[in-house]
Amino acid sequence: MAAAGAVLRQKLPGNMDICGRSGKGSPEFHVLAVDDSLVDRKVIEKLLRSLSCKVTVVESGSRALQFLGLEGEDSSVGFDALPVNLIMTDYSMPGMTGYELLKKIKGSSAFREIPVVIMSSERILARINRCLEEGAEEFLSKPVKLSDVERLTRYLLRGEADQVSEFRKRKLPKTCDFEFSFPSSPLSNDSDSSSSSRSSSPLPKRCKSV
Amino acid sequence: MDVAQLKRQLIAFTELLYREGFLDEQFNQLQQLQDENNPNFVAEVVTLFFEDAERILNELANNLDQQSVDFKKVDAHVHQLKGSSSSIGAQRIQRVCIIFRTVCNEKNVEGCLKCLQQLKHEYALMKSKLETLFNLEQQILAAGGPPSI
C-alpha cells in the first residue's frame, strides 16, 4: 500500500517543519502526549511527528508522571531524556483525568512551567474554565487537527511567555452559563497578534446561545 | 482496467463515502498525514480502530446482557467508541454513539439494545466500504499507477 494514500491526498506545504532543527543548532521540541485511546495516541503522535517534533506518547496520567520523574521508583527516566517542552493530555481518562494530571504538574516546582494543553471531545464550559484556572495553556477540541497543533507549537516556540501567562489569567465570563460551541483554540487566530491585542481579545464574543 | 479508470473509480467511490456520511473531514486529515516515511499510516490507524471497535461492541453486548445493567460502564464504552470514530472520521458511527449516550442516560435498556444493533450495522458497513477503498488503492498500485500530487 506504499503510496496508496498519495493518490488522493494533498501534499503538505514544504515549510511545515516547525519543531525540527533549524540548522542553527536549536533543540528539538519535545512533546509528551497522554491519551488512553490507542487510536488517538497514534494520530497525535503522527500529527506531532509530521511537524518534526520529538514525541513521547503514554497511555495514562500516572505513566506521564512516571516519565517526568514525579512518581514511582523509576524517578530519572524522563529527566535524563530530552526535556519536555509541552504536555498534551486528553481530559477524560480512567484513573487520573487530564485535569488531575494538570494539577499535579502545576503543583510541581520542577515542571509547573511546562505548558499543558487539554484535549477533549466534550466542550463543557465548566470543564474548560476549571482547566484554564488551573493553568492549562489551551483547551483543544477533539478530533485534533494538524492546524491546531501547528498553531500551538508555533506560538509556544516563539517563547512569548508573558502573552501565554496573560491568557492563563483570563477566565471565561461566568455570565455564560450554558454550553456553547467552543472554537478549537481560545486564542485568536491571527498568529502575529501582539500581546496587547491578545489580552484584549474579547472572549465574551465566543459565547453564543445553544 | 487501466490505471486512469481505476483512479476515476477510486475518486468516485471516495466522494460517495463522504457524501453518504461514512467519512468526514477528519479522514482527509489522516490522508494528508500519510507520506513516504509512513506509507501505510491510514490503513494502520483504521486497523487499530477496527480492533478497538470490535472489542467495544463485544463489551457492550456483555454489559447489556446483565440482569442489572451498569449504565455507567455502557456510557464509558460508548464514549470511547465515539472518540475513536471521530478521530478517524467515521461520522455515521460517531452519530449513533451520540444517540446511544442519550438513551443510556435515560437508563433505557431497550433503547440501548437498539442502538447497539445500529452500531453493529454501521460498523459492518463502514468496514466493508473501507476495505473496498483500500482494495482499489492496491489495484492502482499493482497496475503501476504513479501517485498523483
The string over A172-181, giving b where at least 16 C-beta atoms fall within 10 Å of a residue's C-beta and e elsewhere, is: beeebeeebe
Evaluate if residue A114 carries a pLDDT over 90: yes
Does A13 contact chain B (CB < 8 Å)?
Answer: no
Lowest-pLDDT range, A16-25, A107-116, B61-70?
A: A16-25
Does B13 contact chain A (CB < 8 Å)?
Answer: no
Torsion on CA atoms A210, B79, A101, A45, rounded to nearest 10: -100
The string over B28-52, giving b where at least 16 C-beta atoms fall within 10 Å of a residue's C-beta and e elsewhere, is: bbbbbbbbeeebebbbbbbebbbeb
Pick from B8, B32, B59, B134 the residue to mutate for testing the A interface (most A CBs within 10 Å). Answer: B32
What are the cell numbers at A144? 485534533
The pLDDT tens digits of the residues spanning A14-66 come to: 444 556 544 444 457 899 999 999 999 999 999 999 999 999 999 999 999 99
Q: State the pairing for strand pair A30-34/A54-58.
A: parallel
Q: Report the complex ipTM.
A: 0.90
d(CA B69, CA B108): 10
Residue A62 neighbours by CB distance under 10 Å: 19
User: What residues in A contact B33, CB-CB < 8 Å?
Assistant: 43, 46-47, 50, 146
Confidence of residue B116 (pLDDT cuts 50, 70, 90): very high
Residue A126 pLDDT: 94
The pLDDT tens digits of the residues spanning B1-28 come to: 788 999 999 999 999 999 999 999 999 9
Distance (Å) from the alpha carbon of A87 to chain B's nearest alpha carbon: 19
Residue B94 pLDDT: 96
Evaluate if residue A202 carries a pLDDT over 80: no
